[in-house]
Amino acid sequence: MQFIPLLFGMTFISFVIIQLAPGDYFTQLQMNPEISPQTIESMRRNFGLDKPVIAQYFYWLGNLARFNLGESFSYHVPVSFLIGQKLKNTLALSVFSIFFTWLIAIPLGVYSAIKEGRWQEKMMSFFAYIGISIPSFLIAMLLVFFAARTMVLPVGGTTSVFYINATGWEKFIDYLKHLLLPGIALTLAEIGWLYRLMKNNFLEALGSPYIVTAHAKGLSDGRIYFRHALRNAVNPMITIFGYTLSSVLSGAALVEIITNWPGMGRLILDAVLSRDLYLVMASLLIGGVLLILGNLVADILIAAADPRVRLR
């Protein structure tokens, strides 16, 4: 429950920072000769932006308590509507990439730790090094370029032209096809460091005294690797998993923007640039909630996996 004050603190500080910076969304509108200063003033009043910052924050908070995230300045629709559309796509992208990143990186990390110093490990670590060195946007750009050249994957958007006549199943497959490009880009961007982390954890576990005991008992290598070392190597990864969940928004943003995947990334970027206050606040709030959820999931999983945590 300690996260409720955390959320308050986080949103309050962000709100104040956003609003204390000179100018607001309507300052840009003032440049537009077609809009009269009176109109702008009344719009400001409408949103309560003529009041002190603290009052504005509590106005936002009061609305939030009634599940009203406010209205977007630039789109003139409720923020919840905008976000609802985009969040779904971001979550789909994140679930896709988290699933495949972990599915591939964990076994490769273990395999490579077992083969430490041999060519298999050297090759994999080399590729991981490359993957970690290339920034995610570059990976995304290369993939977009490749896809556009070869036409094997659709680029941009979530649907094809024939979408309207498609059956539910066909729509799903079509969606997945569009998800593939940003999904692969994000997976490639994340897989290197996760592999490296898992490998290092496994190596550390293998170097522990309890592994000597396991050998001294005469256990087989398989049992030592997959029972004694693996269980210990996985524990720190659980915290990482929670952390991954909480950084879903920021992690996917760059890739979304470059592959033109209609997720939260573009929306947040535009909102920040145009100082669309309520949209920014809602995005921050979602980020905060994800952070808390991620930590919560990590706490629960780690307690389930580690008796030292579960039984104090």
Site of interaction with another protein (CB under 8 A): 208-210, 212-220, 223, 228, 231-232, 235, 305-308, 311
Tell me how far, at minimum, the Cβ of 129 lies from another protein, in Å: 21
> Rounded distance, CA 145 to CA 141, Å?
6
Q: With respect to another protein, which residue has the nearer C-beta, 52 or 307?
A: 307
Q: With respect to another protein, which residue has the nearer C-beta, 11 or 232?
A: 232
Residue 71's nearest CA partner among 240, 212, 282, 260 is 282
Q: With respect to another protein, which residue has the nearer C-beta, 99 or 210?
A: 210
Where does residue 252 rank: exposed (0-12), middle (13-18), buried (19+ CB within 10 A)?
A: buried
Tell me how far, at minimum, the Cβ of 101 lies from another protein, in Å: 25
Identify the residue whose tokens are 């992208």: 93
The dihedrals phi and psi of 47, each to the nearest 5 degrees, come to: -90, 5
Residue 49's nearest CA partner among 75, 13, 18 is 18
Tell me how far, at minimum, the Cβ of 95 lies from another protein, in Å: 28
Largest separation between any pair of C-alpha atoms in the chain: 86
Identify the residue whose tokens are 């998993």: 241
Tell me how far, at minimum, the Cβ of 236 lies from another protein, in Å: 12
Residue 82's nearest CA partner among 69, 93, 95, 64 is 69
> Rounded distance, CA 294 to CA 22, Å?
34
Q: With respect to another protein, which residue has the nearer C-beta, 36 or 213?
A: 213
Tell me how far, at minimum, the Cβ of 113 lies from another protein, in Å: 13
Tell me how far, at minimum, the Cβ of 213 lies from another protein, in Å: 5
3-state helix, strand, coil in the chain (%, to 5): 80, 0, 20
Q: With respect to another protein, which residue has the nearer C-beta, 149 or 312?
A: 312
Chain CA centroid to CA 51, Å: 35
Q: With respect to another protein, which residue has the nearer C-beta, 141 or 203?
A: 203
Residue 290's nearest CA partner among 91, 40, 124 is 91
Q: Are 93 and 267 in contact (CB under 8 A)?
A: no
Q: With respect to another protein, which residue has the nearer C-beta, 90 or 232?
A: 232
The dihedrals phi and psi of 71, each to the nearest 5 degrees, come to: -115, 145
Tell me how far, at minimum, the Cβ of 202 lies from another protein, in Å: 14
Q: With respect to another protein, which residue has the nearer C-beta, 43 or 219?
A: 219
Q: Kindly list the distances between the CA atom of residue 33 and the CA atoms of 30, 98, 224, 276, in Å, as whole numbers in the listed order.
A: 7, 48, 75, 21
Tell me how far, at minimum, the Cβ of 228 lies from another protein, in Å: 6
